[in-house]
Structure 1
Amino acid sequence: MPYNFDSPVSRKDTDTVKYDLCELLFGSREVIPLWVADMDLPIAKEIQDALVQRASHPVYGYTIQSKRCWSAVQGWLQQQHQWEVPDHSFVFSPGIVPALTLMVQAFTQPKEKVMIFTPVYTPFHEAVKGNDRTLITNDLVEKNGRYEIDFQKTEELLKEGVKLLIFCNPHNPSGRMWTKEEILQLLDLCKKYNTLIFSDEIHADLTFFGNKHIPFATIREDAAQQVITGMAPSKTFNLAGLQASYLIFLDDTLKRQYTKVASVPHLNFGGTFGTEGMIAAYTHGHTWYKEMKAYIQGNIEFVIDYIDKHIPEIKAMKPEATYLIWLDCKSLGLSDPELKKFMVEKAGIALNEGISFGQTGSGWQRMNVAVARPVLEKALAQLKEAMS
């Protein structure tokens, strides 16, 4: 069935982070929220129907992730990424963010070093610092409108005893997709210095313009002992509120080490509706998925073209993946608090502050374009008017 993504869906007063926290975080309920990374697009009817059917059963008790669940995940990974993952490799998680903390706790000790490439998703920072580990930030280098890894600097930092690398693949906030050559080079360095890799691949299905995602753990046979992967249907199918994701361990020893930590707070199994939502998405969501991707790619092209033509003071980094656009606003000459105030009070839009992704994000803003096109048109018109 064709899906109509052009009609805005009201989410106000549904206790949703993106809308109902605007007044607290931005000082206004009237801004157009283009910040939190979830979609304002209606989910696939097949998923909604599956949840309604499960809700019709009068008992919502503790739920396991059985063969039915993991078979659906395996089928999706095989179809989308040509990745055959064995049954025993999966561990459920209520989200990638909780998994970040458990990874740090399972594979490092207090004060040990954990490295991230910045700018990057804020919880990467928090998972390290909040667990009393030493955060090592490795700034990505901007070249020709995209980020690249400085491998010489990376080796210098790894040789100082980094125990764990938390890697964002594809990259949030820039939408950068890492090439086979880059992933191989990073794997070689981490093997050389015995650094474990957690690859957050939550945006793996959201690739655009003919780009194809490369799961880090598949890059070479020996990556199995070095790489743990995190994935989820939450970004792909807009199911973040169901709190369902999973980790892939191709090494049994690493899986046991993680599960030993995760099982203490019982964060290695999930809830009824998260499980049903994941099964339905991966089994019946293909048509919706294709239409959603085409729509969001159109949104990305619309935003990039509009900013280039009408707001040239701002430079948009064209994403290869994700529905996020990283906006370089440094030419405006505003401090980070001033930039936030300008976007809220003058343009009437709420974006993620670049500085929250690390110091290299100063002067940037992150825009979520997974919304109805008319909403984007209104937001950009307001930004253009504010600039003038």
Structure 2
Amino acid sequence: MTIFNEKIDRLKTSSVKWELTKEIFGEADLWPMWVADMDFKPPQAVIDAIKNRVDHGVFGYTFVPPSAAGALVDWLLKRHQWKVNPSWLLYCSGVVQAISAAIQSFTEEGDRVLLQSPVYTPFFEMIKKNNRIVVNSPLTLVNEKYEIDFASFEESLQQGCKLFLLCSPHNPSGRVWTRDELLKIGELCLKYNCLILSDEIHSDIIYKDFKHIPIASLSSDLSERVITLMAPSKTFNLAGLQASAAMIKNEGLRNQFHETLSRQGVFSLNTFGMIGMEAAYKEGEAWLKELIDYLQENKEFVLNFLKEHLPEISCVKSEGTYLLWLDCRKLNVTDDELRQLLIEKGKLALEPGTKYGPGGEGFVRMNIACPREDVKEGLARLKRALE
């Protein structure tokens, strides 16, 4: 686990996290615990595979080889007990691109698309940018844990929603949905003929005593009505390689999605993206196990610090992901005042909860996927900001 304590200078690498705080927050000298990437090197097998390809020296047109699909299929079966046929796979540069392509494939302009706030910002953006209507069934916070209001969820579906965007595990809160919750979601979406687009990009980072379940794996009926999106980017810190996959069992839906990608000129993956993806899924499991243990310790460190030094801040119960959703409402400050304190007094960059839609007011999102010393520095700045 000592590899995760290594401090790596990411400046002058075009790092969004470390080099765009001026553009995003208005200040350059901020400690960045905001955007969702890690400050860790990926598994050595990934680095070696990319180095070997670089040493070959020729970078012409490439296709995604069957071995890459096989690596992902084997990974899904071993980690999530989900048997996927390689023929179900289509590839995109990223999950956000795939969300947009799915909205274009399975809805028309003016159609209603359902989501549950607070939720990953591009859910809202991709619906609106494609001229669809956002229908929101907000999550309910009960005892520091988000729950689904199924009465509200069904009422929303009754408005004629064509597509439901499921965030599983949930970003920003780290909630891992249970089998019963997913079955109820599936039952209602089937009842009202609403397709499910399941963003499962965080599905591999799950803490002890919790388990991620791909919603498409729950029944044969659901498997025909779900488009599942995954990528190695969060799991192995490979976002810059831009490689993701969509799993679509239903041939008609898969053909629709493929046609949309073709119209956009998407035919393959970046050479290094597919190489990194294959190496990560083939040889990254031991590294991931150590990562999750390290993140668990980081999380416990944050929770203990808040309890001792900032008891007015609570953390929504995190069951997965490397993101913590901090409830700052007891501070009795506005979101603008909180942002100003963090930036000007604490010199700390956290994601403001308002980015995640209704229900995000009074919250901030903290990324703990960094060396322990960096977590300590961020918490010291948080304390200084709020003293």
TM-score in terms of structure 1 length: 0.98
In structure 1, C-alpha distance between the alignment counterparts of 2:385 and 2:128, rounded to whole Å: 38
CA deviation string 1:24-62 (max 9, x = no partner): 112222211000000011211111111111011222122
Partner of 1:116: 115
CA deviation string 1:124-143 (max 9, x = no partner): 00010000001111110000
- Structure 1 residues 268, 207: CA separation in 2 closer, same or farther (over 3 Å shift)? farther
Give the drift of 1:287: 1.7
CA deviation string 1:55-85 (max 9, x = no partner): 1122212221121110111111111111111
Give the drift of 1:228: 0.9
Partner of 2:357: 358
How do 1:1-388 residues align onto structure 2 when only pairs under 5 Å count? 3-388=2-387
**Secondary structure of 1:247's partner?**
strand
8 Å CA contact 1:3, 1:291 repeated in 2? no
Query: How many residues are treated as equivalent by the alignment?
Result: 387
Give the drift of 1:110: 0.5
Q: Which residue type is aligned with residue 338 of structure 2?
A: L
CA deviation string 1:244-274 (max 9, x = no partner): 0100011111100111111111225211000
Percent identity of equivalent pairs:
43
In structure 2, C-alpha distance between the alignment counterparts of 1:154 and 1:232, rounded to whole Å: 27
Q: Which residue type is aligned with residue 258 of structure 2?
A: T
In structure 2, C-alpha distance between the alignment counterparts of 1:224 and 1:78, rounded to whole Å: 15
**Secondary structure of 2:326's partner?**
strand
**Secondary structure of 2:56's partner?**
coil
In structure 2, C-alpha distance between the alignment counterparts of 1:279 and 1:250, rounded to whole Å: 21
In structure 1, C-alpha distance between the alignment counterparts of 2:241 and 2:92, rounded to whole Å: 11
Q: Which residue type is aligned with residue 300 of structure 1?
A: K
Q: Which residue type is aligned with residue 221 of structure 2?
A: D
In structure 2, C-alpha distance between the alignment counterparts of 1:109 and 1:38, rounded to whole Å: 33
Runs (4 or more) in structure 1 with deviation over 3 Å come to none
8 Å CA contact 2:341, 2:386 repeated in 1? no
TM-score in terms of structure 2 length: 0.98
In structure 1, C-alpha distance between the alignment counterparts of 2:317 and 2:148, rounded to whole Å: 18
- Structure 1 residues 150, 263: CA separation in 2 closer, same or farther (over 3 Å shift)? same
In structure 1, C-alpha distance between the alignment counterparts of 2:49 and 2:298, rounded to whole Å: 29
Q: Which residue type is aligned with residue 41 of structure 2?
A: P
Q: Which residue type is aligned with residue 211 of structure 2?
A: K
8 Å CA contact 2:136, 2:156 repeated in 1? no
In structure 1, C-alpha distance between the alignment counterparts of 2:268 and 2:102, rounded to whole Å: 16
8 Å CA contact 2:183, 2:218 repeated in 1? yes
Give the drift of 1:288: 1.1
**Secondary structure of 1:118's partner?**
coil
8 Å CA contact 1:206, 1:236 repeated in 2? yes
Give the drift of 1:195: 0.2
Give the drift of 1:86: 0.6
**Secondary structure of 1:56's partner?**
helix
In structure 2, C-alpha distance between the alignment counterparts of 1:223 and 1:203, rounded to whole Å: 21
**Secondary structure of 1:361's partner?**
coil
CA RMSD of aligned residues (A): 1.1
In structure 2, C-alpha distance between the alignment counterparts of 1:160 and 1:387, rounded to whole Å: 43
Give the drift of 1:382: 2.0
**Secondary structure of 2:52's partner?**
helix
Q: Which residue type is aligned with residue 336 of structure 1?
A: D
In structure 2, C-alpha distance between the alignment counterparts of 1:75 and 1:187, rounded to whole Å: 25
Q: Which residue type is aligned with residue 292 of structure 1?
A: L
Mean alpha-carbon deviation: is it higher for 5-14 or for 120-129? 5-14
In structure 1, C-alpha distance between the alignment counterparts of 2:326 and 2:218, rounded to whole Å: 31
8 Å CA contact 1:207, 1:320 repeated in 2? yes
8 Å CA contact 1:72, 1:279 repeated in 2? yes
In structure 1, C-alpha distance between the alignment counterparts of 2:225 and 2:250, rounded to whole Å: 8
**Consecutive unaligned residues in structure 2, runs of 5 or more:** none
